[in-house]
């Protein structure tokens, strides 16, 4: 049995039945990480010894385990705090930060018998769509190492696609779970805002940020989400709700489900191959009994500007805590408090983060607040009501996840506006706090994966996962894997760090426990 071919749930079953030991699974993942991860640059920190220790402890409990994911190795995006393991946000300013506590989701996963293999590379502070803004250098797409894996959870999506662990947990502020899932040919879901605790997630834009799973298929996503979701008193935006087991409700029955195709998501700017693949996905769902209809969705022109204004405003406020006093890095030499702040932040943040802080400070400043920030909040309300109207006519919406194939490494950073426009299909979902899922729905003529996005009403996770599961019963796009030889060969593709990293000072260095490079 090739362990890496299994889904997380299949591995969980094999462990439960005693066909595979927890340690064998962990060791198999660590061996692959050792062989491939530095080429893909998917991990920032690998915690191999911890993982193997934990595997030993978990083995004793296999018989009594209730979680279907018990003993299944996984990894966490590096903006999710882990007690005793450094958590960098892929930023120099937190390069050596080791949190004294774990995020709520980390404790929940531990309770479900998860084993963490380490921390995954990402865009700095989750700001970006290509995973190139990391101070650890860019992540490469396992399907084509000359391409980006998407962002900001690019390490997570690349790791799952390349079989460096069975699932990953990422975060999504404006598409960072769904878009990398699409670019790497895996399945990812951003849950309804407030259903997964943000306690211990390093904040980017608090009114959008949500944690969620990136997996091989929808069933795995359901199982991981079952472990993650629930009310948490430590997060003031966490919602009470009926959090039943999603996994038990995956019937694959979509008869009578009304799926809307928002006409404004299929217009200019959409790559024809992506359009064809997503419309073919609609046909597949139709053949299983869903009703597919087109509907107007006349709010798309507002989504990118509204998102980037609000996200930057919240980022500028959230990131003010990184001042060299309380967390992480402090400038070595400074003359007084103002100079300490200035030098620490100048040296610690990369160019994209600085751009967001400047933009956010600008839109919040007196004189511009009404013209930009308030306007963006008004646009957000209009977008929300656009979704309300759409969900009067249908149960789910189907759109592309991204308008085109993953760009080549190094081509996006000099054109941030172009990169922001690539988020057009995902950010609206965060503006409205809705759940959204990306599933693989085909490959383009260059062999690159294409993702389709399903959007549901608040608490519509069950419908989303069930529709994706139904689709995956009839298709095998989610079962395709990039070739190992391509992943290993990623080493030959230069990371072009000298052009990607405009920052002063040394590179951040990926880490293995004990000090060696990851």
Catalytic site includes residue 152: yes
Q: What is the 3-state secondary structure (H, E, C) of 201-252?
A: ECCCCCCCCEEEEEECCHHHHHHHHHHHECCCCCCCCCCCCCCCCCHHHCCC
Q: Which residues contact 207 (CB under 8 A, 6 or more apart)?
A: 193, 237, 310, 314
Is residue 133 part of the contact set for ligand GLN (CB under 6 A)? no
Catalytic residue from among 116, 129, 152, 438: 152
Cβ 181 to ligand GLN shortest distance, Å: 12
Q: Which of 297, 301, 424, 308 minimizes the C-alpha distance to 376?
A: 308
Indicate the angle between helix axes 22-32 and 8-16, nearest 10 degrees. 140
Asked if 383 and 376 count as a contact pair (C-beta separation under 8 A), the reply is no
CA distance 404 to 412: 13
The span of 26-34, 98-106, 169-177, 509-517 binding ligand GLN (CB under 6 A) equals 169-177
Asked if 119 and 87 count as a contact pair (C-beta separation under 8 A), the reply is yes
Is residue 124 part of the contact set for ligand GLN (CB under 6 A)? no
CA distance 148 to 176: 13
Is residue 511 part of the contact set for ligand GLN (CB under 6 A)? no
Is residue 175 part of the contact set for ligand GLN (CB under 6 A)? yes
Asked if 23 and 489 count as a contact pair (C-beta separation under 8 A), the reply is no
Cβ 175 to ligand GLN shortest distance, Å: 5
Q: Which residues contact 10 (CB under 8 A, 6 or more apart)?
A: none
Is residue 126 part of the contact set for ligand GLN (CB under 6 A)? yes
Cβ 229 to ligand GLN shortest distance, Å: 19
The only residue of 41, 173, 187, 192 in contact with ligand GLN, by rule CB under 6 A: 173
Catalytic site includes residue 23: no
The span of 89-97, 166-174, 469-477, 504-512 binding ligand GLN (CB under 6 A) equals 166-174
Q: 414-453: which residues touch ligand GLN (CB under 6 A)?
A: 423
Catalytic residue from among 77, 108, 119, 140: 77
Is residue 311 part of the contact set for ligand GLN (CB under 6 A)? yes
Reduced to 3 states, what is the DSSP secondary structure of residue 500? helix
* Structure tokens belonging to residue 71: 């003993």
Q: 176-215: which residues touch ligand GLN (CB under 6 A)?
A: 176, 204
Q: Which is nearer to ligand GLN, 128 or 142 (CB)?
A: 128
Asked if 166 and 141 count as a contact pair (C-beta separation under 8 A), the reply is no
The only residue of 172, 323, 395, 461 in contact with ligand GLN, by rule CB under 6 A: 172
Is residue 121 part of the contact set for ligand GLN (CB under 6 A)? no
Q: Which is nearer to ligand GLN, 362 or 443 (CB)?
A: 362
CA distance 101 to 132: 28
Is residue 102 part of the contact set for ligand GLN (CB under 6 A)? no
Reduced to 3 states, what is the DSSP secondary structure of residue 515? coil
* Structure tokens belonging to residue 21: 């030991």
Cβ 191 to ligand GLN shortest distance, Å: 13
Catalytic site includes residue 77: yes
Q: Which is nearer to ligand GLN, 173 or 192 (CB)?
A: 173
Q: Which is nearer to ligand GLN, 150 or 482 (CB)?
A: 150
Quote the DSSP letter at residue 291: E
Catalytic residue from among 37, 91, 134, 176: 176
Is residue 127 part of the contact set for ligand GLN (CB under 6 A)? yes
Reduced to 3 states, what is the DSSP secondary structure of residue 191? coil
The only residue of 129, 131, 141, 344 in contact with ligand GLN, by rule CB under 6 A: 129
Q: Which residues are catalytic?
A: 77, 152, 176
Residues that bind ligand GLN (CB under 6 A): 126-129, 152, 172-176, 204, 311, 423
């Amino acid at each position: 049995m090739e362990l890496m071919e299994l889904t997380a749930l299949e591995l969980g079953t094999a462990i439960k039945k005693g066909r595979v030991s927890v340690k064998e699974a962990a060791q198999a993942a660590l061996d692959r990480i050792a062989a491939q991860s530095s080429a893909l640059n998917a991990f920032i920190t690998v915690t191999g010894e911890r993982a193997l220790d934990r595997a030993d402890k978990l083995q004793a409990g296999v018989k009594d385990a209730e979680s279907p994911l018990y003993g299944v190795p996984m990894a966490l995006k590096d903006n999710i705090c882990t007690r005793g393991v450094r958590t960098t946000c892929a930023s120099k300013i937190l390069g050596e930060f080791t949190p004294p506590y774990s995020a709520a989701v980390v404790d929940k996963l531990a309770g479900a018998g998860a084993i963490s293999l380490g921390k995954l590379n990402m865009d700095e502070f989750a700001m970006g769509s290509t995973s190139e803004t990391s101070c650890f250098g860019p992540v490469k797409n396992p399907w084509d190492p000359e391409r980006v894996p998407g962002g900001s959870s690019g390490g997570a999506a690349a790791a799952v696609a390349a079989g460096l662990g069975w699932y990953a947990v990422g975060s999504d502020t404006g598409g960072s779970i769904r878009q990398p899932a699409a670019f790497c040919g895996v399945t990812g879901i951003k849950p309804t805002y407030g259903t997964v605790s943000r306690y211990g997630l390093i904040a980017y834009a608090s009114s959008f940020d949500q944690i969620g799973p990136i997996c091989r298929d929808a069933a795995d996503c359901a199982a991981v989400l079952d472990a993650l979701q629930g009310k948490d008193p430590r997060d003031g935006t966490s919602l009470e709700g009926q959090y039943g087991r999603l996994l038990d409700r995956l019937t694959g029955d979509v008869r009578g489900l009304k799926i809307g195709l928002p006409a404004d998501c299929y217009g200019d700017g959409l790559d024809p191959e992506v359009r064809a693949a997503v419309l073919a996905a609609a046909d597949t769902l139709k053949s299983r009994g869903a009703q597919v209809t087109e509907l107007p969705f006349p709010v798309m022109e507002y989504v990118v500007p509204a998102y980037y204004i609000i996200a930057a405003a919240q980022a500028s406020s959230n990131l003010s805590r990184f001042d060299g006093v309380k967390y992480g890095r402090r400038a070595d030499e400074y003359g007084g408090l103002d100079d300490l702040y200035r030098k620490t932040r100048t040296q610690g943040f990369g160019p994209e983060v600085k751009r967001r802080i400047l933009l956010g400070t600008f839109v919040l400043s007196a004189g511009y607040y009404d013209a930009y920030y308030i306007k963006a909040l008004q646009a957000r309300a209009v977008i929300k009501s656009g979704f309300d109207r759409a969900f009067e006519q249908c149960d789910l919406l189907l759109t592309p996840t991204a308008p085109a194939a993953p760009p080549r490494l190094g081509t996006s950073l000099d054109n941030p506006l172009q990169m922001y426009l690539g988020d057009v299909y995902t950010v609206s979902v965060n503006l409205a706090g809705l759940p959204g899922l990306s599933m693989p729905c085909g490959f383009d003529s260059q062999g690159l994966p294409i993702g389709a996005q399903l959007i549901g009403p608040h608490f519509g996770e069950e419908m989303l996962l069930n529709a994706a599961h139904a689709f995956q019963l009839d298709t095998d796009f989610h079962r395709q894997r990039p070739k190992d030889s391509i992943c290993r060969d990623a080493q030959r593709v230069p990371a072009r760090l000298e052009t990607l990293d405009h920052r002063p000072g040394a590179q951040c260095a990926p880490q293995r426990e004990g000090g060696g490079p990851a």
